[in-house]
Amino acid sequence: MGPTASGKTGLALHLAEHFPLEIVNADSVQVYRGMDIGSAKPTLQERQAIVHHLIDVTTPDDPFSAGRFRTAALEVIEDCHRRGVIPALVGGTGFYFRAVEQGIAEIPEVDAQIVAELNRRVCDEVGLACCYAQLQQVDPPWAARVEPGDRQRIVRGLSVYLASGQPLSYWQQLSCQQAPEGPALRICKLAIEWPREQLYARINQRFEQMLKEGFMEEVQGLLSRGYHGDLPAMRAVGYRALIGYLQGAYDLARAVELGQRDSRRYAKRQITWLKAEPGLQWLAPEGAKQAALDEVRAFLQFFKKK
């Protein structure tokens, strides 16, 4: 687990050199084919060296929900257990991890008219910023996990509140208090904790490196294949900023600035979520690989004795 650009993939690959381990992707963008550079997807060489699951599962116009991820991930986990292999979930998408460990919240259905009305208000009347401010008032926990520009999740939060009289975070918390269906999982949670300024510098540098590796061309290719900017996948961090540039909304310098800013904000939200994650072991960047080896060995040895 960990925020963007913290070194999750490198740490997982190191562990795979010492344990019978296969990687289960837990990044909500890496599940999409064609979204490679912007999602920092493991390279083909890395994927050939160590088995990776749940990468390139579907296309960007096919939303991959937490429910779909949970079903697919549990199938992979059970298969790994049958073969005597350790499944390692690697990624920074908190609701994917939560879906596997805690199950999926049973949220009341929302009438389509409510969603349509909210979308109309966002587009034609009060605007997205005002709707986000309303979300912050009625559901602060959900708003803290949502970007101010994420129309889909803003509308989702407001629509559940209007339909049920309770915030979306209430229903999610209610579900977490109930035992999830599925196998009981024993989990060792690890994350690398960088000083914030160092992490932000890594984020800025990585975004520039992505552009050198062809990130802009990747986005152009996705748009040319009909994957428009309103798709949830195409609103992912980094992609949205470059789409704005390609559509003439601002110049390249502004696109880079927005992409880096959005990535830093995303990392900040990830850290906030991780700080509240029970049982998570934070590792200092210096010596993280050895510390991770020690943690995993101790974890496996503990359950081996039982």
In the annotated binding site for substrate, the residues are 4-9
3-state secondary structure of 158: helix
Structure tokens, 50: 């160590």
Contact in structure between 256 and 208 (CB atoms under 8 Å)? yes
Annotated binding site: 2-9
Structure tokens, 11: 């740490």
Buried b (16+ CB within 10 A) or exposed e, 166-176: ebbbbbbeebe
- Give residue for tokens 């997982």: 12
Annotated binding site for ATP: 2-9
Cα gap 188→15, rounded to integer Å: 13
Cα atoms found within 13 Å of the Cα of residue 180, Cβ hemisphere only: 20
Where is 129: in which H helix or E strand?
helix 128-138
Contact in structure between 27 and 52 (CB atoms under 8 Å)? no
